[in-house]
A = this chain, B = another copy of it.
Amino acid sequence: MSDRKHGVAIPARLVPFPASVSPEARASLARLVSEEGEPLNASYTMPLPEDHAGWMAVKAVADGQYATAVKGLAGTLRSSVETIQNGDVTIHVATPETMLKADFAYIDFHGGALVFGGGDACRAQARMQADQHGAVCYGVDYRMPPEHPYPAALDDAMAAYRHVLKSHVPSRIIVGGRSAGGNLAAAMLLRAKAEALPMPAGLILLSPQVDLTESGDSFQVNRTVDVVLPGSLMRNNLLYAGGADLSHPYLSPLFGDLTGLPPTFLQSGTRDLFLSNTVRMHRALRRDGVDAELHVFEGMPHGGFMGNTPEDRDLAEEIFRFVSRISGEASR
């Protein structure tokens, strides 16, 4: 291969909003770009902070955005919620109005690029999951940088898992997370295995950030095609790692020995910056003998279409079906 031959030259172009998704999904994509077709996402257009104070300011802005989103949800949530403190970790325990799965626990790790999304957003999400699954949901409000770099979040994940194991048999526990939450859910299981804890019944990884080195191909191909997550999160990843090796399986579970992990549900979208993360994790799980199923949604960016679109509902139904199968309940 010659020195010049490094890749494929892609000409500039306008990639139209897909005609092959629902009108709601198309509108959701259109809301996220400027009149000139550029992604509006702040993490793409704004310079990232240089220091602790800068990060704290960015976190405040992001948390404000999450808080606004959460307020919009408040009227729709039916489950009750109690917030408990277990050593260093805060856990929001949401109990559904109608219990469909007795003795069952869903442990949820929120997303937010390993820096954002805690507090009220995490609490609301625990209630959403409890509503959706008709099961108790433990929303893990793990500590994050810049105040608490690695391994604080993973320590908190372990503490939360040990806490839930006290009141539930492993075969009645499912662990899951979206984006950064998928990182923690998978890393937590690798560490639980190393510490000889039992595996839960299932694992749910939604567009998971399982490779903090960002070595996957979709980090190139879907750069700016994904309007939710238009580019690299490396600055966040380095802040999170706090000097630890990004390729260690506790930081990038894609590179771990996945043998013995429970049945796993993986989701991504064709426009997802983390498409490669997801499909590589699916292949790695299957290579290691894990029962893993992959769902990739047409034209979907990172994290779904972010609304009540038919595609988001289809995904929710698939997750419900997986949880029901794992928990031994009939599908609705």
Given contacts A10-B10, A10-B15, A270-B276, contact A35 B4 (CB under 8 A): yes
A202 to B316, CA, bound (A): 27
CB distance from A161 to the nearest CB of B (A): 29
Q: Which residues of B contact A30 (CB under 8 A)?
A: 1, 5
A264 to B314, CA, bound (A): 19
**Per-position binary interface string of chain A over residues 1-35, scored 1 when its CB falls under 8 Å from any chain B CB and 0 otherwise:** 11011111111111111111100000101100101
The answer to the question of A220 belonging to the interface, with a C-beta cut-off of 8 Å to chain B, is yes
Q: Which residues of B contact A287 (CB under 8 A)?
A: 314
CB distance from A91 to the nearest CB of B (A): 34
Contact across chains for B35 and A9 when beta carbons are under 8 A apart: no
Q: Which residues of B contact A36 (CB under 8 A)?
A: 4, 9
Contact across chains for A225 and B221 when beta carbons are under 8 A apart: yes
CB distance from A287 to the nearest CB of B (A): 7
The 8 A-B residue pairs with the shortest CB-CB distance, nearest first, are A9-B37, A18-B217, A7-B16, A12-B12, A217-B299, A279-B296, A7-B14, A294-B294
The answer to the question of A248 belonging to the interface, with a C-beta cut-off of 8 Å to chain B, is no
Given pairs A2-B35, A8-B15, 19 additional interface contacts (CB within 8 A): A4-B35, A4-B36, A8-B37, A8-B225, A9-B13, A9-B14, A9-B224, A10-B225, A12-B12, A15-B220, A18-B216, A20-B215, A20-B276, A218-B270, A221-B270, A279-B297, A280-B298, A282-B295, A293-B294
Contact across chains for A11 and B299 when beta carbons are under 8 A apart: no
Contact across chains for B295 and A215 when beta carbons are under 8 A apart: no
The chain B residue with its CB closest to the CB of A211 is: B20
The answer to the question of A39 belonging to the interface, with a C-beta cut-off of 8 Å to chain B, is yes
A217 to B39, CA, bound (A): 18
CB distance from A256 to the nearest CB of B (A): 16
The answer to the question of A191 belonging to the interface, with a C-beta cut-off of 8 Å to chain B, is no
CB distance from A269 to the nearest CB of B (A): 9
The chain B residue with its CB closest to the CB of A216 is: B20
A222 to B271, CA, bound (A): 10
Given contacts A1-B27, A14-B10, contact A283 B299 (CB under 8 A): no
A29 to B1, CA, bound (A): 11
Q: Which residues of B contact A294 (CB under 8 A)?
A: 293-296
CB distance from A268 to the nearest CB of B (A): 8
Q: Which of A285-302 contact B (CB under 8 A)?
A: 286-287, 293-299
The answer to the question of A144 belonging to the interface, with a C-beta cut-off of 8 Å to chain B, is no
The answer to the question of A245 belonging to the interface, with a C-beta cut-off of 8 Å to chain B, is no
Which listed residue, B2, B224, B282, touches A11 by the CB 8 Å rule? B224
The answer to the question of A38 belonging to the interface, with a C-beta cut-off of 8 Å to chain B, is yes
Contact across chains for A10 and B9 when beta carbons are under 8 A apart: no
The answer to the question of A227 belonging to the interface, with a C-beta cut-off of 8 Å to chain B, is yes
Q: Which residues of B contact A329 (CB under 8 A)?
A: none
A215 to B65, CA, bound (A): 35
The answer to the question of A103 belonging to the interface, with a C-beta cut-off of 8 Å to chain B, is no
Given contacts A5-B33, A14-B8, A293-B293, contact A20 B270 (CB under 8 A): no
